[in-house]
Amino acid sequence: MASKSPVNRTAQPYEYRRRELVEPDWTRFPGWRTVSAQEWSSAQWQRSHCVKSAKQLHDVLGDLVPEEFYADLARDQQDHATMSMLLPPQMLNTMLTDVTTSSSIFTDPVRRYMLPVASDRLALWPSHPRASRDSLHEHDMWVAEGLTHRYPTKVLAELVSTCPQYCGHCTRMDLVGTSTPSVTKLKLAGKPVDRYAAMLDYLRAHPQIRDVVVSGGDVANVPWRQLESFLTHLLEIESIRDIRLATKALMGLPQHWLQPDVLEGMHRVAVRARRQGVSLAVHTHVNSVNSLTPAVAAAAKALLEAGVRDVRNQGVLLRGVNDSPGQLLDLSFALLDEAMITPYYLYMCDMIPASEHWRLPLSRAQELQHAIMGYLPGFATPRIVCDVPFVGKRWVHQAESYDPVRGISTWTKNYRTSIETSDDPGAGDYVYYDPIDTLPTAGQRWWGDQIESGRAS
């Protein structure tokens, strides 16, 4: 009788392996050869040594990267960038962790989205014809300056329009950061004290709102006293049951969240929240496993010890950064196992100008969601969502219809936002568009015809 050939029952598409986090040695960069551990751990030192130009980057990296890279970067800042350059040393230090060739900088996943260069952008379709500056129409849904009321029970409070770091793909490129040669930013007109008072008045007058995302920008740029005062007022409103603080700085500038006075303040707020049965959580934004270091894990754990109920990650799905199942699972396991951060959402990149080289088609997002199922605990399996203009977050498998040739998906919703007058929340289809360069030839030709006949925008 023929014997059965042995079957390898352990081989899986993804092999889980626990990896210890490592803080890359910053003294490998010529400009930081003499920087001490004490300086590095200071939030003040980190803020005052942020890299803001190609020249400053040159001063740090020197000839570790080719000259053509600096020229490429300067060209992007001048001609294309929607966000100005602002990179804390902590974040720059998570690039080039494995310098094997002089061109590694071009393919580095953190560099790809934090330091975009002109040669990254697509020559033929750099922007989708339906892209827009405030692609989620958050500004249209402001009920007080900076307060977006989109969902029935939740609001987004933008306390500040700056961050300690600027991401190339920022969805709030309309408002966040300083102006670039290509984009003149909107400005928040009111004084913070008046704006915060107007937000709180709206929340007091609308008890159906139970959940406030306190964001920006990044709450790490709100002076702690002001932030604590705002949170304390929020906790005085009985209808508020969930408060979520949005800060990418937990990863980009963990030194901020490790400052004793900030942790003491967070403890005061967390104790009060817990006493009242209110969930206080921190949401951060990590896109690549390379960004997770012991300092980031220490900051997340310190916030949990201060009494925050959960620290969760909301990453963005980006081409060339985290667009494979292995990259997403490596990131998710590192967040969960090494930093006690819950992988929560992965957003499809929004349809802002000059972002096509980062965006992925819906079909790829659906494949990725399928590929990462079953490895992580259910509560920590990130949901890949499309933030559909005028609708909100929808799981990528919830599209009502999808034409993968033209890259057009339609979506519906079951509630009204603050700007709709129709009584029927489902009235009308809401649309998301795939990046055109990823479409088959017939789809690209169709979009070319639309543009030529003036029907594309």
Question: Which residues sit at the interface with ligand SF4, rule CB under 6 A?
Answer: 163, 166-167, 170, 172, 176, 217-218, 248, 285
The least distance separating ligand SF4 from the CB of residue 238, rounded to whole angstroms, comes to 30
The least distance separating ligand SF4 from the CB of residue 274, rounded to whole angstroms, comes to 27
The least distance separating ligand SF4 from the CB of residue 378, rounded to whole angstroms, comes to 27
The least distance separating ligand SF4 from the CB of residue 175, rounded to whole angstroms, comes to 9
Give one DSSP letter per residue of 301-339, joined into a string. Answer: HHHHHTT-SEEEEEEEE-TTTS-SHHHHHHHHHIIIIIH
Nearer residue to ligand SF4 within complex by CB, 85 or 278: 85
**What DSSP element (H or E) covers 213?**
strand 211-215
The least distance separating ligand SF4 from the CB of residue 252, rounded to whole angstroms, comes to 7
DSSP secondary structure code for residue 456 in this structure: -
Token output for 37: 């551990």
Nearer residue to ligand SF4 within complex by CB, 183 or 399: 183
Give one DSSP letter per residue of 216-279, joined into a string. Answer: SS-GGGS-HHHHHHHHHHHHTSTT--EEEEE-THHHH-HHHHT-HHHHHHHHHHHHHHHHHT-E
The least distance separating ligand SF4 from the CB of residue 167, rounded to whole angstroms, comes to 3
Q: Which residues pair with 257 in a beta bridge?
A: none
The least distance separating ligand SF4 from the CB of residue 166, rounded to whole angstroms, comes to 5
**Residue 75: other Cβ atoms inside 10 A:** 16
8 Å CB contact between 335 and 379: no
The least distance separating ligand SF4 from the CB of residue 215, rounded to whole angstroms, comes to 7
b vs e for 157-191, b when ≥16 Cβ sit within 10 Å of the residue's Cβ? bbbbbbbbbbbbbbbbbbbbbeebebbebeebeee
Nearer residue to ligand SF4 within complex by CB, 315 or 407: 315
Q: Which of 225, 223, 217 is nearest to 246 (CA)?
A: 217
Nearer residue to ligand SF4 within complex by CB, 26 or 358: 358
b vs e for 257-268, b when ≥16 Cβ sit within 10 Å of the residue's Cβ? bbbeebbebbbe
Nearer residue to ligand SF4 within complex by CB, 31 or 392: 392
C-alpha 69, offset from chain centre: 25
DSSP secondary structure code for residue 31 in this structure: G
Nearer residue to ligand SF4 within complex by CB, 293 or 314: 314
The least distance separating ligand SF4 from the CB of residue 456, rounded to whole angstroms, comes to 27
Nearer residue to ligand SF4 within complex by CB, 143 or 167: 167
Token output for 336: 């969960």
**Calpha distance 144→121 (Å, rounded):** 36
The least distance separating ligand SF4 from the CB of residue 431, rounded to whole angstroms, comes to 23
Nearer residue to ligand SF4 within complex by CB, 172 or 312: 172
Radius of gyration of the chain from Cα atoms?
A: 22
**Calpha distance 283→278 (Å, rounded):** 16
Nearer residue to ligand SF4 within complex by CB, 163 or 278: 163
The least distance separating ligand SF4 from the CB of residue 345, rounded to whole angstroms, comes to 13
Nearer residue to ligand SF4 within complex by CB, 163 or 329: 163
Token output for 206: 């609308």
**Residue 339: other Cβ atoms inside 10 A:** 26
Tell me: cis bond preceding 168? Omega within 30 of 0 counts: no
Nearer residue to ligand SF4 within complex by CB, 162 or 366: 162
